[in-house]
């Protein structure tokens, strides 16, 4: 058997662990593994322009501890799905033809695709041209309903938490407010769990629209009670209640992703009179050696993906349920975004810890 593996979309700590798991599990079965470079693009290899390598356990030993991915990854590319007039998504025929040629040339029996919902949809389209696929979920935001946890998430949460630990000390020394923008466009899990771990005072999420008045009131009450430092964590995708949008003062345009923390910092500083600094954690959240949890989860995902290939459970995605691995049809898995339920026990815990969500 020859199986392929690729990762696609934004990187997440644990990608290399998945690769090591796949290679180890395949090798124990006597199979070969080919790793494609830079997402699906590697499938467009041609003789003279090969964009893959055959991977051995010896070469992959210890890979689970390395950040990034030895295969490289791209966010978009030739395999982006285009929706036609018939409302059905498709990949360009020329791209599919070239892929078929690669599959034939390498004698590929199956492909393991590590990626988010877009990449898994692409994977399904490849299965239609005769390349059986197994999916491994990848979303650092942990926003996929089909699995309890995705790798990379707890590495990101750790970095947010460590950063808050740091910022707390300097905020306390200067009696400042710190506004920290973290990842999470649609789902606020990183802000929620990172904020709980890092003792945030305020957490603003896409799922719980907030009013600035509520936030200001909460902050003022804490200062009045003698608290020196205020820590505010903001998801990239946090939004105001009542469909209001935050406007950029200079441009009067809506604040784009990546800038909301700064705008909120300014407004809170004006409204409370507290000296405020803002900080965008950015790509630090997705970099570096994965935490133990992600090294373990990543290798489990990779190993189990090979089990699914062996059982011929194709067009499925591996998933964690409780302490067990399980398989979920990709088609269903990509449909359900896992959002923070404002009434869930985790949010209740946060409120118990005094967190203000601005609602």
- Cite the active site residues: 141
User: Given the complex with its own copies, which of 26 and 96 has the nearer CB atom?
Assistant: 26
When asked if residue 20 is in the footprint of its own copies (CB under 8 A), the reply is yes
CB atoms inside a 10 Å sphere around CB 129: 12
Distance CA 303, CA 22 (A): 5
User: Given the complex with its own copies, which of 321 and 335 has the nearer CB atom?
Assistant: 321
User: Given the complex with its own copies, which of 239 and 295 has the nearer CB atom?
Assistant: 295
326 phi, psi to nearest 5 deg: -150, 170
CB atoms inside a 10 Å sphere around CB 275: 11
When asked if residue 14 is in the footprint of its own copies (CB under 8 A), the reply is no
When asked if residue 321 is in the footprint of its own copies (CB under 8 A), the reply is yes
Q: Tell me how far, at minimum, the Cβ of 299 lies from its own copies, in Å.
A: 5
Q: Which of 122, 163, 235, 315 binds its own copies (CB under 8 A)?
A: 163
Residues 22-51 that bind its own copies (CB under 8 A): 24-25, 27-28, 38
User: Given the complex with its own copies, which of 131 and 302 has the nearer CB atom?
Assistant: 302
- What is the per-residue DSSP string for 42-68? GGG-BTTB--EEEE-HHHHTTGGG-SS
Distance CA 4, CA 196 (A): 39
When asked if residue 72 is in the footprint of its own copies (CB under 8 A), the reply is yes
Residues 6+ positions from 263 with CB-CB distance below 8 Å: 246, 248, 255
When asked if residue 172 is in the footprint of its own copies (CB under 8 A), the reply is yes
Q: Tell me how far, at minimum, the Cβ of 206 lies from its own copies, in Å.
A: 18
Number of H helices, E strands in the chain: 11, 13
Q: Tell me how far, at minimum, the Cβ of 274 lies from its own copies, in Å.
A: 14
User: Given the complex with its own copies, which of 83 and 225 has the nearer CB atom?
Assistant: 225
The size of the interface with its own copies (CB under 8 A), counted in residues, is 89
Q: Is 277 annotated as a binding residue?
A: yes
Closest listed residue to residue 136, CA positions, set 3, 253, 46, 32: 3
Q: Tell me how far, at minimum, the Cβ of 24 lies from its own copies, in Å.
A: 4
Q: Which of 46, 50, 54, 61 binds its own copies (CB under 8 A)?
A: 61
- Judge whether 56 and 70 are in contact, CB under 8 Å: no
Q: Which of 81, 241, 271, 279 binds its own copies (CB under 8 A)?
A: 279
Q: Is 284 annotated as a binding residue?
A: yes
Question: Which stretches of the chain are DSSP H helices?
Answer: 15-28, 57-60, 93-106, 117-128, 153-174, 189-197, 212-224, 260-272, 292-310, 330-333, 345-352
Annotated binding site for substrate: 139-141, 176, 183-185, 236, 277, 283-286
């Amino acid at each position: 058997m020859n199986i392929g593996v690729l990762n696609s979309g934004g990187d997440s700590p644990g990608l290399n662990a998945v690769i090591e798991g796949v290679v180890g599990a395949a090798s124990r079965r006597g199979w070969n593994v080919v790793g494609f470079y830079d997402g699906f693009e590697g499938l467009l290899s041609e003789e003279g322009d090969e964009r893959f390598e055959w991977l051995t356990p010896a070469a992959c030993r210890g890979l689970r501890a390395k950040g990034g991915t030895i295969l490289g990854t791209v966010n978009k590319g030739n395999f982006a799905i285009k929706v036609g007039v018939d409302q059905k998504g498709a990949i360009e025929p020329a791209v599919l033809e070239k892929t078929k040629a690669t599959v034939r040339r390498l004698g590929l029996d199956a492909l393991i695709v590590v990626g988010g919902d877009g990449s898994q949809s692409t994977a399904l389209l490849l299965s239609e041209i005769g390349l059986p696929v197994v999916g491994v979920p990848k979303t650092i935001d942990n926003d996929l309903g089909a699995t309890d946890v995705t790798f990379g998430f707890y590495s990101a949460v750790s970095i947010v938490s460590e950063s808050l630990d740091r910022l707390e000390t300097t905020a306390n020394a200067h009696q400042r407010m710190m506004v920290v923008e973290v990842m999470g466009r649609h789902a606020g899990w990183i802000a929620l769990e990172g904020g709980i771990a890092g003792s945030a005072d305020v957490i603003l999420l896409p799922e719980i629209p907030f009013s600035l008045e509520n936030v200001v009131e909460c902050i003022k009450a804490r200062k009045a009670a003698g608290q020196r430092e205020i820590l505010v964590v903001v998801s990239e995708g946090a939004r105001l209640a009542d469909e209001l949008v935050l406007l950029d003062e200079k441009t009067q345009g809506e604040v784009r992703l990546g800038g909301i923390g700064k705008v909120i910092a300014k407004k809170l500083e004006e409204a409370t009179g507290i000296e405020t600094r803002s900080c965008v954690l950015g790509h630090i959240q997705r970099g570096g050696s994965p935490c133990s949890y992600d090294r373990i989860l990543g290798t489990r995902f990779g190993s189990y993906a090979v089990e699914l290939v062996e059982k011929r459970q194709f067009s499925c995605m591996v998933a964690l349920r409780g302490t067990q691995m399980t398989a979920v049809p990709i088609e269903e898995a990509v449909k359900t975004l896992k959002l923070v339920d404002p009434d869930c026990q985790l949010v209740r815990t946060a409120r118990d810890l005094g967190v203000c969500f601005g609602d």
